[in-house]
Amino acid sequence: MSFTVKKMLQLALLALLLATPITLTYLNIRCDNLSKDIALALNRNLTSLSTAVLELPENQTDAKSMNDLVTLVLSSRSLRSVAYFKNDHYLYSDRDASLNGSISSSLKARLKTEPLPLLYRKCSTLNKIEEVHLVVKGKSGFYQLFMNARYMDDWLTNADEYLRGYVVSPDGSVIINKKKDFLFYKSYRSAQFPFTVIVGAKASQVLLGIGSLTAFIIILCMIIGLIANHIHTKNFSFRKDIDIAIKNKEFIPYYQPIVCNKTHHIVGSELLCRWLYRHKKLVAPNQFITKVELNGQIKPITLQLLKQLAVDKPIIAGNNPDFYVSVNFTLSMLSDPVFVNDVMCLIKQSPSLQRGLVFEMTERENTANAIIKLDKIMQRFRELGVRWALDDFGTGYSSLSSLKELNFDIIKIDRLFVNSADTDAVTSSILNNIALLGKELKCRLVAEGVETETQLNKLKSLDVDYTQGFYFSTPINREAFEEYKYQHEQKMLVANKKKQQCYSALKYHGPALDI
């Protein structure tokens, strides 16, 4: 994926169209929640202060009461002073136990026109300090709380690092912080005190939010595009490598011996694919088989392997006319009429493939829905001398009915049951049932993955016909298979000769004959 100027502009426009409503929605929700949170926090603070002063005795008759008032002021960060007045005259404060001054005319007017409690901002006439005044009604008089307005402003400013807000009275005058020109805002009105919290975002903040999110979306899309491009390029490179490998005939057959459990002779082999990369490095099948199956390249590979098998089979079979080679086929391969016709043409043209050829169909694919179609295809191949084996039996989708209807000649027992048959009672029981089923269906049984003599003896006791696995040999090339087969047969001849000699020695027990 190349990022041209045109594509970048299109991406930027798309990112902007996505970022704008997302940013506005987020800011709208955030302003709404923040205004509510600030109002609740301010309510708690004002309620706490109001409750504390109203619990003090109004007459201040002793030193302890005055000391409690001073302690209250000193313990609060926002509270500067508290004064008590009655009949429009101050009587005392936390700083002076005896006062005799009149309240301001503006406060007199507020008391007459506005409901309690009162909350407003005012600059002190004495020291020119900005204060927030809270006036609450006591039993007989009034408490006036003087709060540090600068502290309150800073508290509100620090409520959020991005959004800003301010507090206004019912008449619109600012109580805390400064009024701001917002592009949009949300407000929350207190039910306990006469104030409303307004939180919003300026045009510059909105643009910054949209710009930041747009940039993030662009970068994210570019990263996703690069990752997708890497995956696509990698897959394309893999397909290209496979195409080159097919052209250069780098896929070669390896053969794993299949041994008869009664005669111990090698009766066949399974053809397994190996990739000789650039004719130098051997690539294990688990690194490419699944991929080539998914992208369909397994079909030309299989055709190439069958062509090589046509040459190899007479050599590895030797003088055994019943020697067979099994080749793996998938349902998708058999569902391709072009591929099926190509395979049939190859068999017709190759006499060595017209006898002793077995196609293994894996049980990992669901064949239940394609029984009729498969039966016809399998029958066409049978007419060419091909037999059919069901691979990985017991681990996939096949039902007993489909097994009977498709009429397999061979059942291959999965290594899962073989490997744990000698240690797990349940698996051993399943293996026994598979063996009985195979005999009932008159199918040859081949056990895969045999690695120990114990496993081999277990299979023999169940009357399993053939075995294959590392106990005998790993998959090997044609030359190595020829050598292994020769050595194996030589060992069998020696073993049979010893048995015959032993039998002859045991047959006659009388005195030696003088001839």
* 323-343 pLDDT tens trace: 999 999 988 899 899 999 999
Query: What does the pLDDT read at residue 396?
Result: 56
Tell me which residue has tokens 């106990």. 471
CA distances from 176 to 120, 123, 151, 152, 327 (A): 9, 13, 9, 6, 85
261 and 202 belong to one structural domain: no
Question: H helices of 97-139, where?
Answer: 105-113
Query: What does the pLDDT read at residue 512?
Result: 45
Query: What does the pLDDT read at residue 128?
Result: 80
358, β-bridge pairs: 326, 387
144 and 257 belong to one structural domain: no
Query: What does the pLDDT read at residue 61?
Result: 61
pLDDT at residue 398 is higher than 60: no
Specify the range with the lowest mean pLDDT, choosing from 221-235, 298-312, 373-387: 221-235
Q: Which residue has the higher pLDDT, 433 or 357?
A: 357
Query: What does the pLDDT read at residue 2?
Result: 53
Which of residues 177, 207, 237 is at a domain's end?
Answer: 207
Query: How many Cα neighbours within 13 Å face the side chain of 83?
Result: 19
Query: What does the pLDDT read at residue 365?
Result: 54
User: Residue 413 belongs to what H/E stretch?
Assistant: strand 410-413
> Distance from CA of residue 169 to its chain's centroid?
53
User: Residue 388 belongs to what H/E stretch?
Assistant: strand 386-393
Which CATH number is 453's domain given?
A: 3.20.20.450
Task: List, in sequence order, every beta strand (DSSP E) within 31-152.
Answer: 79-86, 89-93, 101-102, 118-123, 130-137, 142-148
170 and 23 belong to one structural domain: yes
pLDDT at residue 249 is higher than 50: yes
Is 74 within a domain? yes
Query: What does the pLDDT read at residue 222?
Result: 83
Is 223 within a domain? no
Is 228 within a domain? no
pLDDT at residue 506 is higher than 50: yes
Over range 371-385, report the average pLDDT. 87
Tell me which residue has tokens 């708690």. 44
* Neighbouring residues of 6: CB distance < 8 A, sequence distance ≥ 6: none
Q: Which residue has the higher pLDDT, 59 or 475?
A: 475
Is 149 within a domain? yes
Which among 146, 155, 179 is positioned nearest to 79, based on CA atoms? Answer: 146
Tell me which residue has tokens 């039993």. 139
Over range 61-69, report the average pLDDT. 77
Which among 194, 175, 211 is positioned nearest to 116, based on CA atoms? Answer: 194
Is 362 within a domain? yes
Max Cα-Cα span within the chain: 158
Over range 24-44, report the average pLDDT. 92
Query: What does the pLDDT read at residue 368?
Result: 54
21 and 142 belong to one structural domain: yes
Query: What does the pLDDT read at residue 439?
Result: 85
State the DSSP string of 453-485. HHHHHHHHHTT--EE-STTT---B-HHHHHHHH
201 and 288 belong to one structural domain: no
Structural domain containing residue 278: 249-499
Q: What percent of the chain has pLDDT over 70?
A: 88
Which of residues 143, 176, 207 is at a domain's end?
Answer: 207
Query: What does the pLDDT read at residue 391?
Result: 85
Over range 342-351, report the average pLDDT. 96
Average confidence score pLDDT of the chain: 86
130 and 258 belong to one structural domain: no
Which among 82, 93, 90 is positioned nearest to 60, based on CA atoms? Answer: 93
User: Encoding tokens for residue 362?
Assistant: 């894996």
203 and 255 belong to one structural domain: no
Which of residues 185, 207, 229 is at a domain's end?
Answer: 207
| DSSP letter assigned to residue 452 | S
132 and 277 belong to one structural domain: no
90, β-bridge pairs: 85, 101
Number of independent structural domains in the chain: 2
Is 313 within a domain? yes
Which CATH number is 138's domain given?
A: 3.30.450
177 and 62 belong to one structural domain: yes
Q: What percent of the chain has pLDDT over 90?
A: 49
Query: What does the pLDDT read at residue 41?
Result: 93
| DSSP letter assigned to residue 133 | E
User: Encoding tokens for residue 200?
Assistant: 């919003």
| DSSP letter assigned to residue 353 | G
181 and 256 belong to one structural domain: no
200 and 303 belong to one structural domain: no
Query: What does the pLDDT read at residue 511?
Result: 46
Is 410 within a domain? yes
Query: Using 50, 70 and 90 to split pLDDT, how confident is the model at 12?
Result: confident
| DSSP letter assigned to residue 361 | E
Query: What does the pLDDT read at residue 284?
Result: 83
pLDDT at residue 513 is higher than 50: no
pLDDT digits (tens, 9 = 90+) for 183-234: 889 999 999 999 999 999 888 888 988 899 899 988 888 888 777 766 655 5
75 and 151 belong to one structural domain: yes
Could you tell me the pTM of the whole model?
0.55
Give dist(CA 134, CA 169) in Å, integer: 12
Query: What does the pLDDT read at residue 514?
Result: 39
Is 397 within a domain? yes
